[in-house]
């Protein structure tokens, strides 16, 4: 978030840090250390004590290869002596190191030089870094690097505040609580957790609208094709029932709707209606024994074929894709169960035996 000034950014950071959902809040002032006088005094003392160690008056020449052989042999001998006096994992490590040093000491010069370089170069780097650290000076806002200041303050004086969640805030619910807590203090705040939450809510809302619109469009098309309210009800009722059973199963299995699996809702409506329209059309044509018909076998085999694609999504390593595959499999399972169990019962009598009431009551 942005505050009008650095002072207001610091005040906002203090309020945000007090929230239990927040671990820390950073502004440009965070890069200016506190208690600098005491810390600089300690650094000065350390620099004086280590001056001759880091920058000696006399520097001995680099050891010769013979010196390396003697040193490696002596260290290997000492490691074996210490290892014989104790036990445990350190003994195994000491013996392994002693074996390596003995091989280097008795081998050609090249590997010894390589080993010495591998040990000495990191040490030289560490000594250079230590020298630099011991040359620390006072830090103020004016002495901070310009590129750092540009990351945290705009030219018009507005200051940036960066807030981190408390440890363990990794799930959707925890990140939602974190972003809600931040926006309760700073409603204009943005960032990755808020963007993910808002985009997810937008996607879920869009697909819920798509499901409602697709359901309405399906009913309108069925009305234009079937031209009887009773027949439209026969085609739509099983879809609604399978949809409710799918949502109930998701609640029982702990599978919430999210911005990945919500894509499946309009698809499930289309699949369910596609199955049912075949049976209603066959029923209108006079087919009475739907359970043993070739149509039933065709629908079952079609559902099984579709389930292979949905199952492949379920086995995906991507959490969102796998979640969509699970929801599709659950919905398809209920669609097939309704088709096998409820659909034949609804169409048990041919339309000519319905008298005039069902058809005529819904006739336009």
Planar angle of CA 41, 43, 47, nearest 5 degrees: 120
Per-residue confidence (pLDDT) for residue 344, from 0 to 100: 73
Q: How many CB atoms neighbour CB 273 within 10 A?
A: 22
Does residue 190 sit in helix, strand or coil? coil
Per-residue confidence (pLDDT) for residue 349, from 0 to 100: 64
> What's the CA gap between 315 and 317, in Å, rounded?
6
> What's the CA gap between 327 and 268, in Å, rounded?
9
User: Which one, of 230, 244, 253, 218, lies nearest residue 335 by Cα?
Assistant: 244
- Take residue 325 and report the two structure tokens written for it: 């595959």
Residues 198, 50 contacting (CB under 8 angstroms): no
Per residue in 287-325, is it b (16+ CB within 10 Å) or e — as a string? eeebeeeebbeebeeebeebbeebeebbeeeeeebbbbb
Residues 347, 296 contacting (CB under 8 angstroms): no
Per-residue confidence (pLDDT) for residue 356, from 0 to 100: 45
pTM score over 0.85: no
- Take residue 129 and report the two structure tokens written for it: 């870094």
**Residue 360 pLDDT grade (very low, low, confident, very high; cuts 50, 70, 90):** very low
Which burial class, exposed, middle or buried, applies to 81 when counting CB atoms under 10 A from its CB (0-12, 13-18, 19+)? Answer: exposed
Residues 295, 359 contacting (CB under 8 angstroms): no
What is the H or E stretch that residue 197 is in?
Answer: helix 192-226
Across residues 93-103, what is the average pLDDT? 90
Per-residue confidence (pLDDT) for residue 73, from 0 to 100: 93
Tell how far CA 124 is from the center of its chain: 40
Q: For each of the domains in the chain, give its residue range(s) and CATH number, in order of start.
A: 2-32+140-190 (no CATH), 36-133 (no CATH), 197-361 (1.20.1640.10)
**Residue 130 pLDDT grade (very low, low, confident, very high; cuts 50, 70, 90):** very high
Range among 77-86, 131-140, 199-208, 322-331 rated most confident: 131-140
Task: Kindly report the average pLDDT of the chain as a whole number.
Answer: 83
Across residues 1-17, what is the average pLDDT? 93
pLDDT in tens, 253-283: 887 777 677 777 777 777 777 777 777 777 7
DSSP code of residue 99: H
């Amino acid at each position: 978030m942005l505050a009008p000034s650095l002072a207001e950014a610091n005040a906002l950071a203090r309020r945000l840090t007090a929230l239990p959902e927040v671990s820390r809040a950073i502004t440009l002032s965070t890069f200016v250390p506190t208690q600098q006088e005491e810390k600089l005094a300690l650094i000065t003392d350390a620099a004086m004590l280590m001056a001759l160690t880091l920058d000696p008056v006399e520097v001995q020449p680099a050891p010769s290869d013979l010196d390396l052989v003697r040193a490696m042999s002596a260290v290997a001998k000492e490691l074996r002596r210490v290892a014989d006096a104790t036990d445990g994992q350190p003994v195994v490590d000491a013996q392994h190191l002693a074996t390596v040093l003995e091989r280097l000491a008795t081998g050609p010069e090249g590997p010894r030089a390589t080993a010495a370089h591998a040990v000495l170069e990191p040490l030289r780097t560490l000594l250079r870094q230590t020298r630099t650290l011991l040359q620390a000076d006072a830090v103020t806002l004016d002495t901070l690097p310009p590129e750092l200041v540009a990351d945290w303050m705009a030219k018009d004086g507005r200051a940036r505040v960066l807030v981190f969640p408390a440890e363990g805030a990794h799930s959707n619910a925890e990140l939602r609580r974190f972003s809600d807590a931040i926006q309760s203090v700073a409603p204009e705040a943005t960032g990755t957790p808020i963007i993910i939450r808002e985009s997810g809510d937008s996607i879920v809302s869009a697909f819920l609208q798509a499901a409602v619109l697709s359901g309405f469009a399906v009913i309108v098309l069925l009305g234009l094709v079937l031209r009887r309210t009773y027949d439209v009800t026969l085609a739509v009722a099983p879809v609604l029932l399978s949809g409710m059973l799918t949502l109930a199963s998701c609640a029982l299995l702990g599978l919430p709707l999210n911005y990945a699996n919500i894509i499946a809702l309009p698809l499930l409506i289309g699949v369910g209606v596609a199955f049912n329209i075949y049976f209603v059309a066959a029923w209108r044509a006079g087919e009475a024994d739907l359970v043993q018909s070739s149509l039933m076998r065709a629908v079952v085999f079609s559902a099984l074929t579709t389930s292979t694609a949905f199952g492949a999504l379920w086995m995906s390593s991507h959490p969102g894709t796998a979640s969509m595959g699970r929801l599709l499999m659950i919905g398809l399972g209920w669609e097939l169960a309704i088709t096998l169990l409820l659909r034949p019962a609804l169409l048990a009598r041919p339309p000519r035996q319905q008298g005039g009431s069902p058809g005529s009551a819904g006739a336009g």
